[in-house]
A = this chain, B = another copy of it.
Amino acid sequence: MSEHTPKTALTPATHTTPPAKFSHGVRKGNILQVAGQVGFLPAVEGRAPTPAGPTLREQTLQTLANVKAILEEGGASWDDAMMVRVYLTDVDHFAEMNAIYNEYFEGQGLTEPPAARTTVYVGLPAGLLIEIDVLAVLG
Contact = CB atoms under 8 A, between A and B. Distances in A.
Contacts of A121: 122-124
A80 B101 CA distance: 30
B25 A112 contact: no
A134 B139 CA distance: 22
A29 interface: yes
A120 B113 contact: no
Contacts of A22: 84, 101, 114-117
A137 B91 contact: no
A8 interface: yes
A26 B79 CA distance: 11
Given A19-B98, A20-B98, A36 B118 contact: yes
